[in-house]
Amino acid sequence: MARVLVSDPVDPVGVEILQQVAHVDVLTNLAPDKLLASIGEYDALMVRSETKVTSAVIEAGDRLKIIGRAGVGVDNIDVPAATRRGIIVVNSPGGNTIAAAEHTLALMMALARHIPQADQSVRANEWTRAKFLGVELYQKTLGILGLGKIGSHVAKVARALGMNVLAYDPYISPERASQWNAQLVDLETLIRNADFITLHLPKTPETTHLINQETLAKMKPSCRIVNCSRGGIVDENALYQALKSKQIAGAALDVFAQEPLKESLLRDLGMEVILTPHLGASTEEAQANVAIDVAEQIRDVLLGLPAKSAVNIPGLNPDILQQLKPYLLLAETLGSLVGQLAGGRVDTLEIRLQGVLAEKDAKPLLVAALKGLLTPALRERVNYVNALIEARERGIHVIETRDSSGQDYTGSLYLEARTSGIPRSISGTLLGEGEARITCVDGLPINVAPSQFMLLTNHQDMPGIIGRVGSLLGSQNVNIGGMQVGRQVVRGEAVMVVSLDDPLPEGILKEIKSMPGIRDAYVLAL
């Protein structure tokens, strides 16, 4: 009989489901060395956020087939290490949607009416009603940053409360936003016009400190902020200064850059702020939902069935997976790059299978490309199983085409992202022992291996550009790993891809864009 280790507290109903197919050991608060010593005895591991599933734990798990996280994030699991070992990692991306949305709404109402502070006042034998004069939500403007599952539920309830709803989400189409009676606007419009702002974003390099000194300065003095998404999206020091100086009216935070919250100036504030200890998913229903969801997936995998919310490679048909496996990472890489070039929201994604790939099943490659396209925005919420659904929910039209005629390479992929602006395209192939190559960008031929950090320029082919860019990078101590230039016509349009060993320092991209002959420049990250 299979054996499952449950190393964090989960709802008992999840354990009962696992016991249908396996012997289950519930051993919480295991020291890292104890986990490392015992993991080799188990076929599956179920965790929440406390257990750190490191690469060492995964290497020691000789029998592991699946790791399940009873929650949304998988930050405590080394997913790449699990993928390399062929271990499926699953989560429960929708199990706490309602709980998180309701906690957001509860904090918004508590903030508007000073409920926690009024409760403390009455308990202290006071009766100072005038001190707790609040504001109504009715006919106020709510700005929602991130219109995914949680944000869209907040939008629906807010509309029912009589609020006007603005939303910012580069990956949602206006038509999709209108289904929730939300008006899609740019970030600055939302910040300047909202009376309340709620955050429903993953923490990424782009969203870290999205709410900062600059954005806070643009808000109404009456604006109130609620964050139940991820700590670090709000610059807590800047928020403290804005609240203390009455630059904005209030804030309610459920998540923090460091948890548990220790030393924080926010504690020194009064009615302007409400602080809760990461309670967004802390309802009986949510805890049961995520436990059931993940336990059922572990049970199914142990029975040889596919998992429905695999974060890495899902249970594809083994024969198809074996044929296409070398191209899945290529498709995901190209999807990520073309999405970054397109600048976020994409209306249409075309994937063209060329050469021998034209004879293969396109769906796994299409799903991989969509996963790459959506990952910068959705992070762990998107996977090979739900990428098509997430794309559909965001109004992305998907086109699949095939071209089996002679190509420069045996098999290659072409991706084109269409937006309201200029369509962007990228092609790639595999060489030799499965080494990925970018072979074309926006119709211009090139041959470059993808790297973690890249600089791409669209420029006029003219003397001096390569030297100026190289000199600038060198002056900033940025090491160049490789450089490739592609063009069709001498002194015509050209593309340059520079592989970097380090991230580009802040402000350098702006300098590059200002150089003579440079049409545009992009920092790409994988």
275 Cα distance to chain centroid: 25
Burial (CB < 10 A; 0-12, 13-18, 19+), residue 343, is: middle
The beta strands (E) that lie in 300-450 are given as: 348-355, 397-403, 411-418, 424-431, 435-441, 444-448
Question: Do 259 and 372 lie in a common domain?
Answer: no
Residue 356 within any structural domain of the chain: yes
Residue 178 within any structural domain of the chain: yes
pLDDT at residue 408, as a whole number: 66
Question: Do 118 and 264 lie in a common domain?
Answer: yes
Answer yes or no: 416 catalytic.
no
Question: Do 134 and 267 lie in a common domain?
Answer: yes
Catalytic position from the list 85, 192, 278, 468: 278
Residue 303 within any structural domain of the chain: yes
> Number of folded domains in the chain?
4
Distance, CA of 290 to CA of 70 (rounded, Å) = 5
Look at the block and give the residue holding tokens 């498709």.
331
**CATH number of the domain that residue 347 is part of:** 3.30.1330.90
**CATH number of the domain that residue 523 is part of:** 3.30.70.260
pLDDT at residue 85, as a whole number: 80
- Give the angle 372-378-384 at the CA atoms, nearest 5°: 50
Question: Do 179 and 265 lie in a common domain?
Answer: yes
Residue 280 within any structural domain of the chain: no
Q: How many CB atoms lie within 10 A of CB 441?
A: 24
pLDDT at residue 315, as a whole number: 47
Catalytic position from the list 103, 114, 200, 230: 230
Question: Do 119 and 254 lie in a common domain?
Answer: yes
Question: Do 202 and 324 lie in a common domain?
Answer: no
Instruction: Using 70 as the pLDDT threshold, list the residues of the chain that sit under it.
Output: 313-323, 380-381, 385, 406-408
Look at the block and give the residue holding tokens 């970097």.
500
Look at the block and give the residue holding tokens 């997430």.
390
Distance, CA of 498 to CA of 484 (rounded, Å) = 7
Question: Do 389 and 478 lie in a common domain?
Answer: no
Q: How far is CA 234 from CA 219, 259, 413, 482, in A?
A: 14, 14, 39, 36
Residue 82 within any structural domain of the chain: yes
Answer yes or no: 259 catalytic.
yes
Look at the block and give the residue holding tokens 């396996």.
22
Catalytic position from the list 259, 359, 400, 435: 259
Question: Do 49 and 80 lie in a common domain?
Answer: yes
Question: Do 73 and 107 lie in a common domain?
Answer: no
Q: Considering the entire predicted model, what is its pTM? A: 0.74
Residue 281 within any structural domain of the chain: no
- Cβ contacts of residue 386 below 8 Å, gap of 6+? 93, 309
Question: Do 482 and 514 lie in a common domain?
Answer: yes
Q: Among candidates 107, 476, 94, 84, which has minimal Cα distance to 255?
A: 107
Residue where a domain stops, chosen among 442, 477, 494: 442
Residue where a domain stops, chosen among 275, 297, 332: 275
Residue 200 within any structural domain of the chain: yes
Distance, CA of 449 to CA of 57 (rounded, Å) = 31
**CATH number of the domain that residue 29 is part of:** 3.40.50.720
Residue 217 within any structural domain of the chain: yes
Question: Do 496 and 393 lie in a common domain?
Answer: no
Question: Do 238 and 305 lie in a common domain?
Answer: no
Answer yes or no: 136 catalytic.
no
Residue where a domain stops, chosen among 442, 472, 502: 442
Residue 333 domain boundaries: 316-442
